[in-house]
Amino acid sequence: MRAYPIILLLLLFITGCSTTDYRQGAGAEYALVHTGIQGVSIEFLNTAPPPKVFESQDFPIVVKYHNQGASDVKDGRIYLTYDHNLIEIKDGENPATFDVTGKSMTNLKGDLDLAIFQAKAIKPINRKSQATQITATACYKYQTNAVFSICVDTDQNGIKMREKVCTVQPYAQQSQGAPVAVQSVTEDVAYDGGDTSKIKMQFTIQVAKVNSGTLVRETVSSDRLCAADFGKVSQPLNQVLVRASLSGSALHCESDGLLELNKGSTIVCQTTQPIDATLPTYVAPLAVTLDYGYIDTSFPVSIMISTDPFQK
């Protein structure tokens, strides 16, 4: 690992050590944007669909989607589930494709838009009216970005005649503006073999799904996520890809970074190059990125389909 300039070391002594988030400088933006447990939320627009329609009547179904998290979505899908004996959707419209931008410093609420489906009511069989329900499902790739201020303790034995700017301790965050969160990080520091001039670091990263949707491995395509038979075949559920870096240098994570939450909530990542222990103890940013697919389903909306009273 490269040596840090003297000016940077002096700044670290001045700014001190944060025990939770990396908030100095650009970190202020991180703290404002990367908060909350939502990804893309969806709901039906009021009166679209209308509560009651007649047979053969054309009507719109409108789904509002809102990216309330801190990750942009490209090539997502919104899929409608409905009774094909009572409702017909125009060919090519289901599922709908969408892109939507997440939160940023210039848009702290994230973007929202509408997916519009053109539908037609089908005459109920052997009855004057029949109630039915429509459900919308959003399927998309998402990303969680977490940054922690980590104490790089280069003086394990406490023999250097200088005051440390920070101490090694557990680090915790509640959310990062995504439905999957890095909840805590613990670190272990050791000398690199018998060489007291170099240290190595290992981080145990705890991950959790913090919202109610379905978590799927990020290699599953958006089309596959929203396929009608998705729940009928085996899927790589509750899997995330974990990547981490310390001061911009990539760490090596076990299992090639694949964390299966069904088997455990932690993954271990470690430095690949020794760190110069002759430097004073300093604070460095640990960045953790989670990649995954996510599925979220709306509350169903009810619609009454009636026969036309003016037709015989």
The whole-angstrom separation of Cα 181 and Cα 36 is 10
Q: Are residues 56 and 103 in the same domain?
A: yes
Q: Are residues 188 and 265 in the same domain?
A: yes
Would you say residue 137 lies in a domain?
A: no
Which amino acid appears at position 142 of this protein?
Y
Domains contained in the chain, number = 2
Q: Are residues 200 and 289 in the same domain?
A: yes
The DSSP 8-state label assigned to residue 256 in this structure reads G
Would you say residue 1 lies in a domain?
A: no
Q: How far is CA 266 from CA 11, 70, 194, in A?
A: 33, 23, 29
Would you say residue 311 lies in a domain?
A: no
Would you say residue 199 lies in a domain?
A: yes
pLDDT of residue 137: 94
Q: Are residues 252 and 122 in the same domain?
A: no
The overall pTM is greater than 0.75: yes
Would you say residue 209 lies in a domain?
A: yes
The DSSP 8-state label assigned to residue 46 in this structure reads T
Q: Are residues 231 and 255 in the same domain?
A: yes
Cis peptide before 300 (omega within 30 of 0): no
Q: Does residue 59 contact residue 53 with C-beta atoms inside 8 Å?
A: yes
Q: Are residues 208 and 237 in the same domain?
A: yes
Would you say residue 175 lies in a domain?
A: yes
Would you say residue 312 lies in a domain?
A: no
pLDDT of residue 174: 85
**Pairing of the two strands 129-152 and 239-246:** unpaired
pLDDT of residue 304: 96
Q: Are residues 167 and 30 in the same domain?
A: yes
Which residue, among 3, 118, 138, 145, has the nearest Cα to 53 in the 3D structure? Answer: 118
Q: Are residues 48 and 115 in the same domain?
A: yes
Q: Are residues 165 and 206 in the same domain?
A: yes
Which amino acid appears at position 282 of this protein?
Y
Q: Are residues 109 and 162 in the same domain?
A: no
Tell me how long the chain is. Answer: 312
Q: Are residues 72 and 221 in the same domain?
A: no
Tokens of 177: 């503006």
Helix (H, G, I), strand (E, B) or coil at 14: helix
The whole-angstrom separation of Cα 192 and Cα 164 is 20
Q: What's the CATH code of the domain at 110?
A: 2.60.40
Would you say residue 156 lies in a domain?
A: yes
Domain that holds residue 71: 40-132+301-306
Instruction: Write out the chain's pLDDT in tens, 312 residues.
Output: 333 333 333 333 333 333 334 433 346 778 889 999 999 999 999 999 999 999 999 999 999 999 999 999 999 999 999 999 999 998 778 899 999 999 999 999 999 999 999 999 999 988 899 999 999 999 999 999 999 999 999 887 777 777 889 988 899 988 899 999 999 999 998 888 778 889 999 999 999 999 999 999 998 888 888 876 666 556 788 999 999 999 999 999 999 999 999 899 999 999 999 999 999 999 999 999 999 999 999 999 999 999 876 665
Tokens of 36: 């909350």
Q: Are residues 103 and 228 in the same domain?
A: no
pLDDT of residue 124: 92
pLDDT of residue 85: 95
pLDDT of residue 230: 66
